[in-house]
Amino acid sequence: MTAIDMPAPRAKSRFWRKFRRNRAALVGGVIVAFFVLLAVAAPILPIADPLATSWTAIRLAPSAEYWLGSDEIGRDILSRMIWGAQASLMAGVISVAIAVMTGVPIGLIAGYFGGWTDTIISRFTDALLAMPFLIMAIALAAFLGPSLTNAMIAIGLSAMPIFIRLTRAQVMSVKTEDYVEGARAIGLGHLAIMRRYILPNIVPPIIVQATLTIATAIIAEASLSFLGLGQQAPAPSWGSMLNVAKNFLTQAPWMAWWPGAAIFLVVIGFNLIGDGLRDALDPREH
């Protein structure tokens, strides 16, 4: 369908201006950028080998030598945090991207066309939702074979039904608006109506859901790692570090502090970005 690219440059600059002006979103962006940089720069940073164990440094508290302490087999937690950022961020972002990119179009089709299409998709979604999120992710990951990539696909597909449901519900309310009927009346095709009239108007709740799901996905990756289905030991991820740390909460609480704090910060970062995106995309917000 022909898109109207005429005023697009202006719209884009307006978007960036609004996004930049939003301090909270900027803070979120800085947080996420910080962790992304760490993940990317891991190989060139002067840090210890994340896999090197040491019998002399088991569960040491943070000190000058081990800034963030060491874990139960004497590995440097700082190093593992930095190397683990990659796995965790990817698990969070890519699996949610998979969930959004599959769930939103399916939900859009179900909500827009209604009738039998909707009945079939909705029953299928209900069936998927009947299975607990984590159980389904585990089953899928086990089926696909153990690797980080497969874990991300498994988590993405398990999170998909939520997005189908959410999108469908939003579409059902937006499609009764007069402007959608007006678009039909001027002869626009279904695809153009969905893309230009419905999708932009249902984006806000999807963004909010997506940023929240990133947190769930990072934790889910941890559980899969724990079962040997995600990041393969001994390679680190925040989730797997947290999983191990829970056994030593009383003896070595720092083992849990750092990955926990990192997940918390990343989730806040993505939430702030999400809010900023939502506002910047809405022309009614100044």
Partner 1 sequence: MTQPILSLRNLTAAFPTEDGLKEVVRNISFDVAPGETVAIVGESGSGKSVTSLAIMGLLDKRARVSGQVLLDGRDLLGLPEKQMRQVRGNDIAMIFQEPMSSLNPVFPVGDQIAELLIRHGQVPRDQVAAEVLRLMDRVRIPNAHARIKDYPHQFSGGMRQRVMIAMALAARPRLLIADEPTTALDVTIQGQILDLIKEIQEEQGMAVLFITHDMGVVAEIADRTVVMFRGDHIETGATADLFTGATQPYTRALLAAVPRLGQMAGQDWPLRFPRVDMDSGTITAQPAVVDTVDRSATPVLSVRNLVTRFAAGSDLLGRPTGKVHAVEDLTFDLWQGETLSLVGESGCGKSTTGRSILRLVQPESGQVTLDGFDVLGAGPGDLRRMRRSGQMIFQDPFSSLNPRMTVGQTVAEPILTHKLVPRAQVRERAAELLAQVGLDGSMLDRYPHEFSGGQRQRVAIARVLGLNPKVIVADESVSALDVSIKAQVCNLLMDLQERLKIAYLFISHDMAVVERVSHRVAVMYLGEIVEIGPREAIFADPQHPYTKKLIAAVPIPDPARRGLRRAMQVDELKSPVRPIGFQPPKRDWRQVSDRHFVMV
Site for partner 1, rule CB under 8 A: 1-2, 4, 6-7, 10-11, 177-179, 181-188, 192, 196-197, 200-201, 281-284, 286
Count of CB atoms situated within 10 Å of the CB of 199: 18
Q: How far is CA 180 from CA 11, 106, 115, 164, 184, in A?
A: 21, 19, 18, 21, 6
If the CB atoms of residues 172 and 212 are measured against partner 1, the closer one turns out to be 172
Q: Which C-beta is closer to partner 1: that of 75 or that of 278?
A: 278
Place of tokens 């090197």: 52
| Dist CA 136 CA 158 (whole Å) | 6
CB nearer partner 1, residue 10 or residue 44: 10
Please report where in the chains the tokens 């960036």 appear, as a residue.
Answer: 16
Minimum distance, C-beta of residue 185 to partner 1, in the bound complex (Å): 5
Q: Which is nearer to partner 1, 65 or 181 (CB)?
A: 181
**Shortest spacing between CB 19 and partner 1, in angstroms:** 16
Q: How far is the CB of 4 from partner 1 (least distance, A)?
A: 5
Smallest gap from Cβ 124 to partner 1, in A, equals 18
Shortest reach from residue 9's CB to partner 1, in Å? 11
**What distance separates the 2 farthest-apart alpha carbons in the chain?**
76
DSSP H/E element including 18: helix 8-21
Is 93 in contact with 216 (CB distance < 8 Å)?
no
CA angle (269, 65, 53) in 5-degree steps = 85
CA angle 62, 251, 52 (to 5 degrees): 55
Residue 180 CB, shortest distance to partner 1, in Å, is 8
Q: Which is nearer to partner 1, 1 or 52 (CB)?
A: 1
Of 192 and 265, the one with the shorter C-beta distance to partner 1 is: 192
CA distance 263 to 89: 9
